[in-house]
Structure 1
Amino acid sequence: MAKLLFGSLAWFSFPSFADNKPLNSPVDYLSVLLSLVVVIALVFMLGYIMRRFNVTQQGGGQMKVVGSMALGTRERILVIQVGEEQHMLGVTAQNINHLAKLDSPLEVAQPSGDNFKDKLTQLMQGQKGKTHD
């Protein structure tokens, strides 16, 4: 398994690794250090992007998040819809509190196609219809 994983990364290997020689010079150590820094930076960058664009798994079941508002760095107010009822929740890092059941429900906005998944689907369907000359 490891041979398959590292074999596929051969195009990104450094000369000291491709020859299976021990690290002898400071340049070899520097290349390893820079590689690790790039990988760690990539992990943090992807984490930031996922947090920034609120990449979460959307449930298609009985519960939906109708709306949310940030109150602080880790505090939010959510309005969720369960069946036909809507409830307001206060969410912190340690707690989730039921604040109120809404008597007059908020309107649930229909997806307008502004999210990435919908745009990608539309683009892919448009590419299928086109023929190359």
Structure 2
Amino acid sequence: MAVSPFTFAQDSAPGTSLSAWLSVGFSLLLVIAVILLLAFIMRRFSGVQSSGGQIKTVASMMVGTRERIAVIQVGDEQHLVGVTSHNINHLAKLETPISAIRKEESLKQTFAGFLQQQKKLQGETNDKNT
């Protein structure tokens, strides 16, 4: 009785098909889990921690997809900076420092009030120059 290799391949394919699919599915889930774990770690530890503690981020707010406004504290002074993916711009030095607020709603209100105040000041400066 002569048996060709093709008959074994055809007979064994339906039996191993389920185990092959399970193996591929498990591998896919494992890769997705590793990606999600790495994303969580990167998001959690994205900031660079300084040992001296002289420069701190007091507050930050996203204003675009890759743009944000941040209040940083250097020593006893606080500065408002605009951060994009390519550069950082100094926007203003805060005369009255804001405290570190943990609630996001309060943070948004603080930034909104500060930005409205700055807009009014710029409008007054433009009126004086004309």
- What's the TM-score once normalised by structure 2's chain length? 0.52
| Structure 2 CA distance for aligned equivalents of residues 50 and 73 of structure 1 | 21
Counterpart-to-counterpart distance in 2, 1:67 and 1:75: 14
Secondary structure at the counterpart of residue 44 of structure 2: coil
Cα distance in 1 for partners of 2:74, 2:66 equals: 24
Letter in 1 for 2:65: T
Cα distance in 2 for partners of 1:25, 1:42 equals 26
Pairing of 1:29-108 with structure 2 (within 5 A) = 29-46=20-37, 49=40, 55-56=44-45, 57=47, 59=50, 61-108=53-100
Structure 1 unaligned blocks of 5 or more: 1-23, 111-133
| CA distance 1:36–1:96, shift in 2 (3 Å) | farther
Q: Partners of 1:79 and 1:59 in 2: how far apart?
A: 17
How many residue pairs were aligned? 85
CA offsets, 1:69-100, max 9 Å, x none?
11122111000101111111111122222212
**Rg bigger for which structure?**
2
Contact 2:59 / 2:101 at 8 angstroms: preserved in 1? no
Q: Which has the higher helix share?
A: 2
Q: Give the structure-1-normalised TM-score.
A: 0.51
| Structure 1 pair 83–77 and aligned structure 2 pair: CA distance change class (3 A) | same
Say which SS state the counterpart of residue 106 (structure 1) adopts.
Answer: coil
Distance in 2 separating the partners of 1:96 and 1:40:
36
Q: Structure 2: 5+ residue runs without aligned partners?
A: 1-14, 103-130
Output the CA distance in 2 between the equivalents of 1:77 and 1:105: 15
Describe how 1:8-19 pairs up with structure 2 within 5 A: none
What SS does the aligned partner of 1:42 have? Answer: helix
Amino acid at match of 1:25: T
Which structure has more RCO (C-alpha within 8 Å, separation ≥ 6)? 2
